[in-house]
Amino acid sequence: MMTEALKVRLDLRDGLAVIYTEGYINNQGGEEIARVADEAMGHGHKVVLLNLVGTKIVNSIGISILIEIIEKMLEIEGKLAFCNLTPTIEKTFNIMGLTQYADIYADEETAVGGLGGE
């Protein structure tokens, strides 16, 4: 099955980096998110919001890469949060334990308010 590459866009704000995704988060998609998250951390951002508004499916390898990002954020005393998850992805993240270390917000506006961004 041929899948289109995940599109990722980074928006660096004052004190907050927002990563927008569009497409399927598999191994390549997860690695692209990790690369962009590393870029945000390289710019000194310790709070990263992953806005999955354009993502409907995350596979197990994608989730394992997201866990690696959470671990990196914890090492630098940072924070990773998610918003705009489908009910299925939110349930999967809860089952896999991601929500123990990363907050989930209904939408970006709520997330920005909760994370203290601008």
Query: Measured between alpha carbons, how far is 61 from 8 in angstroms, rounded to an integer?
Result: 17
Whole-Å CA distances, 48 to 2, 4, 14, 20, 84: 30, 25, 11, 11, 14
Interval 43-100: pLDDT, tens: 999 999 999 999 999 999 999 999 999 999 999 999 999 999 999 999 999 999 999 9
pTM over 0.75, yes/no: yes
Identity at 60, one-letter amino acid code: S
Query: What are 14-54's pLDDT values in tens digits?
Result: 889 999 999 999 999 999 999 999 999 999 999 999 999 99
What pLDDT is stored for residue 1 in this prediction? 47
Domain 7-103: CATH superfamily, name plus number: STAS domain (3.30.750.24)
